[in-house]
């Protein structure tokens, strides 16, 4: 029995069966490449689901983690944490938001936002988009569209779902009693759907007119993924609340909920908390990842490489190519799960978000030759 088969057998006895896993065990990574337990090399166009934006084991992130581990790993939020303050200041500068609440994941950042909305508005009347994904915890799950995710766990505080990228639908759904509208600047799990240029601006105006709060879920679109620091920057819209996670800490688990000045003091002492959030270690890693994105021009690189990737994918003559930066969706004419499996056998890791949809969110450090290799593999499979 090889190493991977042994791990698969042991996993079936020890871990709850909640994941559909690819039959490989990854043990090492560098940049846009990973290796499995048998020594096979892959180009990683999944990147931990848009987490490893600066690449696997970026030297700057690794060094920051090593240095911090030798000094202090965890203290809890009973004490002041310098790294946390520095990171919050950097996020203010980058996002234009006012204050941060640190947590441990994207779902937790959405939970924090929904909790703030409840306190600010005294209501949990929510509007979300068809195709949305905001997490699987009970609060966030109520704003996640896919019925199969919600059905086993009802009753939930469920949002009213309206078609994405339809301004008239927003006007009809967001009313005087609506507490908040939550949107992804680019829908990720739905297959990478980019709205029209005026959609987010219209959402902001509609919320202002009706007195509703506007939440942008930037868990997947943040930190250069779309070719700007945040997805909202393409439209110049500032939300009331913003949720972050995935790429923020260079591969370590971190979530952040940011609030605009108007709502930055709604949550007071005792209203919300998290034991592990914003630890010295996690914040050191996040600061290193942000520094790498800045110093290596990875936001610009995402824009350039994303444009190149989409152009190359257009050459395949498939149904549709969508995306912003290095957040790309490809609709194909054969079952996407089969393409994912065949690509893996050829040394390329991909992810399908629908029966005929491939999502690509490679590390922002990916290069032209690596993109060419992935497109070549896709061409071979699709032919």
Query: Annotated catalytic sites, by residue?
Result: 133, 217, 246
Residues with Cβ within 8 Å of residue 109, at least 6 apart in sequence: 101, 103, 219, 243, 244, 245, 255, 256, 257
What is the number of other CB atoms lying within 10 angstroms of the CB of residue 59? 12
DSSP three-state, residue 102: strand
What is the number of other CB atoms lying within 10 angstroms of the CB of residue 265? 10
Cα–Cα distance measured from residue 231 to residue 187, given in angstroms and rounded to the nearest whole number: 10
- Dmax over CA atoms of the chain, in Å, equals 64
- Pairing label, strands 180-183, 213-217: parallel
SS3 content of the chain, % helix, strand, coil (to 5): 40, 20, 40
Residues with Cβ within 8 Å of residue 182, at least 6 apart in sequence: 110, 113, 126, 127, 128, 132, 134, 143, 159, 215, 216, 217
- SS3 string, 33-51, reads EEEECCCCEEEECCHHHHC
Angle at 101 between CA 274 and CA 222, to 5 degrees: 115
Residues 210, 193 contacting (CB under 8 angstroms) = no
CA nearest 257: which of 101, 32, 92?
101
| DSSP letters for 278-308 | T-HHHHHHHHHHHHHHHHTTHHHHHHHHHHH
Sign of the dihedral defined by the CA atoms of residues 14, 19, 20, 24, in that order: negative
DSSP three-state, residue 330: strand
């Amino acid at each position: 029995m090889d190493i991977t088969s042994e791990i698969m057998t042991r996993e079936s006895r020890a871990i709850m069966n909640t994941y559909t896993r690819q039959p490989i065990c990854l043990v090492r990574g560098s940049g846009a490449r990973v290796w499995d337990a048998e020594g096979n090399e892959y180009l990683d166009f999944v990147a931990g689901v848009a987490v490893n934006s600066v690449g696997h084991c970026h030297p700057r992130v690794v060094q920051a983690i090593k240095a911090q581990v030798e000094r202090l790993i965890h203290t809890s939020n009973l004490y002041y944490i310098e790294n946390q303050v520095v990171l919050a200041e950097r996020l203010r500068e980058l996002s234009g938001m006012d204050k941060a609440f640190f947590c441990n994941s994207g779902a937790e950042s959405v939970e924090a936002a929904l909790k703030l909305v409840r306190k600010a508005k005294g209501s949990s009347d929510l509007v979300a988009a068809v195709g949305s994904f905001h997490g699987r915890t009970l609060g966030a799950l109520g704003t996640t569209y896919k019925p199969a995710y919600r059905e086993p766990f009802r009753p939930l505080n469920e949002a009213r779902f309206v078609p994405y990228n339809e301004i008239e639908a927003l006007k009809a759904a967001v009313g005087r009693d609506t507490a908040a509208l939550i949107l992804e600047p680019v829908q990720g799990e739905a297959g990478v759907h980019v709205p029209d240029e005026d959609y987010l601006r219209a959402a902001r105006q509609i919320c202002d007119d009706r007195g509703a709060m506007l939440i942008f879920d930037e868990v997947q679109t943040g930190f250069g993924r779309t070719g700007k620091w945040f997805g909202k920057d393409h439209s110049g819209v500032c939300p009331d609340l913003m949720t972050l996670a995935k790429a923020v800490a260079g591969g370590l688990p971190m979530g952040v909920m940011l609030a605009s000045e108007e709502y930055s003091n709604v949550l007071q002492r005792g209203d919300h908390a998290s034991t592990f959030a914003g630890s010295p270690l996690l914040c050191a890693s996040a600061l290193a990842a942000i520094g790498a994105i800045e110093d290596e021009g990875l936001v610009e690189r995402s824009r350039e490489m994303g444009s190149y990737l989409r152009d190359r994918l257009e050459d395949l003559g498939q149904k549709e190519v969508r995306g912003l930066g290095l957040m790309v969706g490809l609709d194909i004419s054969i079952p996407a799960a089969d393409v994912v499996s065949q690509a893996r056998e050829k040394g390329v890791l991909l992810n399908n978000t629908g029966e005929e949809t491939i999502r690509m969110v490679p590390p922002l450090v990916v290069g032209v030759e690596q993109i060419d290799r992935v497109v070549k593999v896709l061409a071979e499979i699709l032919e």
